[in-house]
């Protein structure tokens, strides 16, 4: 079964993840989805294949992706990390289990990418960045050196963060924003320069 992979999530994001799997040589894709659709559910997949087939995370929403990751770990599944061949990744980069790196991404020296992270198309992750678990860096985002992005945070499309700044956990940075100061956890920051416009509620215990 070396040419077979499952993708958990059959929405638009899951389809992009499937394309990256194909670019990595996987011939057959099994979509797993627990919604009301024609795809195989995780319970059905587990009963049929057990943990013989690796599974990639095709869920775009950070909180749900974290929940699915924990469910897969609890069932001893092999969670696949996928990197599009067009991306440029320094040999010194550390990438966590279940992360997906999309086309034309650049990740430079000594960056650390957590588990279940999405680095979306054409984003730039400069040297010594830390992107914590289940964060999502959107297309065309540019993060200068020594930036930290907290777990479950989302950096909107085309945003920029200058060197040495910290984005907290469970924080959203709006599309096109320019971050020149730290943005704390549980916030929404937007604008040029980015300012906190709203506080978010703490996450529920399940993620």
Q: What is the pLDDT of residues 4-38, one digit of tens each?
A: 999 999 999 999 999 999 999 999 999 999 887 88
Q: Identify the active-site residue in 13, 127, 136, 154.
A: 127
Q: How far apart are CA 124 and CA 147, in angstroms?
A: 12
Burial class from Cβ neighbours inside 10 Å (0-12, 13-18, 19+) for residue 206 reads exposed
Q: How far apart are CA 137 and CA 61, in angstroms?
A: 12
Residue 1: pLDDT over 80: no
Helix (H) or strand (E) holding 135: none
pLDDT at 113: 98
Residue spans of the domains in the chain: they are 4-74, 82-199
Q: Which CATH number does 4-74 carry?
A: 3.40.50.20
| Residues 133-185 pLDDT 10s | 999 999 999 999 999 999 999 999 999 999 999 999 999 999 999 999 999 99
Residue 95: pLDDT over 60: yes
pLDDT at 36: 72
**Contact status, residue 170 vs residue 152, Cβ threshold 8 Å:** yes
Average pLDDT of span 48-67: 96
pLDDT at 59: 97
pLDDT at 38: 86
pLDDT at 20: 98
Q: Which CATH number does 82-199 carry?
A: 2.160.10.10
Average pLDDT, the chain: 95
Task: Name the percent of the chain lying above pLDDT 70.
Answer: 98
At 205, the pLDDT band (50, 70, 90 cuts) reads low
Residue 84 among the catalytic residues:
no
């Amino acid at each position: 079964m070396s040419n077979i992979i499952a993708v958990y999530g059959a929405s638009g994001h899951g389809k992009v993840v499937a394309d990256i799997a194909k670019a990595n040589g996987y011939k057959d894709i099994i979509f797993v989805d627990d919604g009301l659709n024609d795809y195989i559910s995780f319970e059905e997949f587990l009963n049929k294949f057990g943990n013989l087939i690796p599974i990639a995370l095709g869920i775009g929403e950070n909180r749900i992706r974290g929940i699915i990751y924990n469910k897969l770990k609890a069932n001893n599944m092999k969670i696949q990390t996928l990197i599009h061949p067009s991306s440029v990744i320094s040999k010194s980069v550390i990438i966590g289990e279940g992360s997906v790196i999309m086309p034309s991404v650049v990740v430079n020296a000594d960056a650390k990418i957590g588990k279940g992270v999405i680095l979306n198309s054409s984003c730039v992750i400069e040297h010594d960045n830390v992107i914590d678990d289940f964060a999502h860096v959107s297309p065309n985002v540019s993060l200068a050196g020594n930036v930290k992005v907290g777990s479950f945070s989302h950096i909107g499309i085309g945003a920029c963060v200058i060197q040495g700044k910290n984005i907290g956990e469970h924080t959203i940075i709006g599309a096109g924003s320019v971050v020149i100061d730290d943005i704390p956890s549980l916030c929404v920051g937007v604008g040029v320069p980015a300012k906190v416009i709203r506080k978010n509620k703490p996450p529920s215990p399940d993620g």
